[in-house]
Structure 1
Amino acid sequence: MRQVDRHEKYLGIPTIVGRSKKAIFEAVIDRIWKKLQGWKEKLLSRAGKEILLKSVIQEIPTYLMGVYKFPRDTIQRIQSAMARFWWGSDGFKRKTHWRSWDDMCTLKCFGGMGFKDLGVFNDALLGRQAWRLVKASNSLLGRIFKAKYYPRSEFLESSLGFAGSFSWRSIWSSKALIKEGIIWKIGNGKKVNLWSEPWVADEGELQ
């Protein structure tokens, strides 16, 4: 059995993140390129390409997106690779892209193809982790993060700090998204600041 000083990855996620954040996503991009290069695009119909891109390529970075905030450059490279596969190429010459990838990410009922906007999808997955810290504060993840990053407050009132891990900064970046979509339902009113927090009265009080 080979002995190692440290594990570079655990469950596909790098255990140590240095100053260069883009370097940890190179493995994801390489994996996507290998998948795309292995498919014979000339033998696939548009429907076949759509199924492969949606069910395989867009799912590759999902697990990592739930932990880390992807750099914009990385997302653009992934979307560029998908666009090139979709529109095709003749050797080293790229064929014309008749529509932008943003238009391709529009829902089909609005004239697009319904591909995921990976930037928005990344924010949604991180927002889900942030919501877990709000609703399941007694979970192992919640207790560890609270003890390390916001011991005297709750997650929604926490500050970013100066020495947080890349994972913490990624999840914390979605806090604004969470705060836009939440609202207090008034019970006894003891935990709610009526002047600064969004709230709605109980249904019985509105009648």
Structure 2
Amino acid sequence: MAIPVFSMSCFKLPRGLCQAINSMLRSFWWGSKDGKRKTCWVSWETMCSPKFNGGMGFRDIELFNIAMLSRQAWRILQNPEALSSRILKATYYPATDFLDAPLGSHPSQVWRAIAEGRDAMKQGLIRQIGTGEGTHAWNQNWLPRDHMLRPLACLNVDPPMRVSDFIDATMAKWSTELLSEWFIPMDVEVIRSIPLSTRSMEDRWAWHYDKNGVLTVRSMYRLLVQTKRHREDWLEGRSAPSDSVGESKAWRRLWAAKVTPKIHVFL
């Protein structure tokens, strides 16, 4: 599983190659031994589920590839003055910023891969509010919650466009009257929970699914796995477990048990 990691961090592997790597992993785990075929106790999709969801934690090669590329996109977003970032900007998006850059008519394999990682990264990007002047109130993610990172609806026409328009700069707090006028109560509650700094700080991008605000391959991969799982449940009409948190804790306790690895695997 470690051999293709370097290539996956730079290029988007073809789906057929990802399936071939998965086939090699399956053959090692479920393949024959001494001419006798091993028993496939559960599906390979279950084996690739995270350990806290009842799986073995094997990587989905295609999703892990996208997670690696998202990390590269994060570096470009956070370090626009780096040499590689400036070369890509001069070549592919000289008149716009990285998040809005088009793929172009003749993209290289590297730029095509980074663009796909960037599009996946957008699922968890969020603006950390400073002055609010650099954040669009309706078209950018800035609400710290898991299901929807931007306002759900606007109550009136011709609303203010910038987050700073809803901040009382003299008091460094949210304007309750303006929030109630333009946002639904569900959004108002979340907005009022966002702390504001008394110092003049610019808004910046952060990663919502990590407490440090930094995108890691692990957090990105976990988001992609959960998104895929929810999509498959929705397509097949399956409902989510009523106590998913409790179920995850139970699996974590199982893997933390002080027994031999083969007992862990069997359970």
- TM-score range (shorter-chain normalised) is 0.5 to 0.7
CA distance in 2, matches of 1:94, 1:171: 41
Partner in structure 2 of residue 85 of structure 1: 28
Paired residue secondary structure (2:123): helix
User: Contact conserved, 2:130 with 2:196, CA < 8 A, in 1?
Assistant: no
Spell out, residue by residue over 1:54-87, the C-alpha distance to the aligned partner (whole angstroms, 9 max, x if none): xxxx110000000111111111111111111112
> Which TM-score applies when normalising by structure 1?
0.65
Q: What fraction of aligned residue pairs are identical, expressed as a percent?
A: 43
User: Contact conserved, 1:84 with 1:94, CA < 8 A, in 2?
Assistant: no
Partner in structure 1 of residue 196 of structure 2: 204
Q: State which of 50, 56, 76 in structure 2 corresponds to 1:113.
A: 56
Q: Which has the higher helix share?
A: 1
Q: State which of 91, 98, 102 in structure 1 corresponds to 2:45.
A: 102
Pick the structure with greater CA Rg.
Answer: 2
Spell out, residue by residue over 1:136-189, the C-alpha distance to the aligned partner (whole angstroms, 9 max, x if none): 011111011001001111110100001110110011012222111111122223
1:132 pairs with 2:75: yes
Q: State which of 181, 186, 189 in structure 1 corresponds to 2:129.
A: 186
Distance 1:142 1:92, change over 3 A: farther
Residue segments in structure 2 that go unaligned for 5+ positions in a row: 144-190, 198-267
Spell out, residue by residue over 1:81-121, the C-alpha distance to the aligned partner (whole angstroms, 9 max, x if none): 11111123257885453322211111234332111111111
CA distance in 2, matches of 1:94, 1:145: 50
CA distance in 1, matches of 2:72, 2:49: 25
Partner in structure 1 of residue 91 of structure 2: 148
Higher relative contact order (CA 8 A, sep 6+): 2
Partner in structure 2 of residue 6 of structure 1: none
CA distance in 1, matches of 2:35, 2:99: 50
Residue segments in structure 1 that go unaligned for 5+ positions in a row: 1-57
Amino acid at match of 2:130: G
Aligned length: 148
1:71 pairs with 2:71: no
Distance 1:158 1:92, change over 3 A: farther
> Which TM-score applies when normalising by structure 2?
0.51
Pairing 1:28-67 to 2, within 5 Å after superposition = 58-67=1-10
RMSD: 2.0
Distance 1:93 1:75, change over 3 A: farther
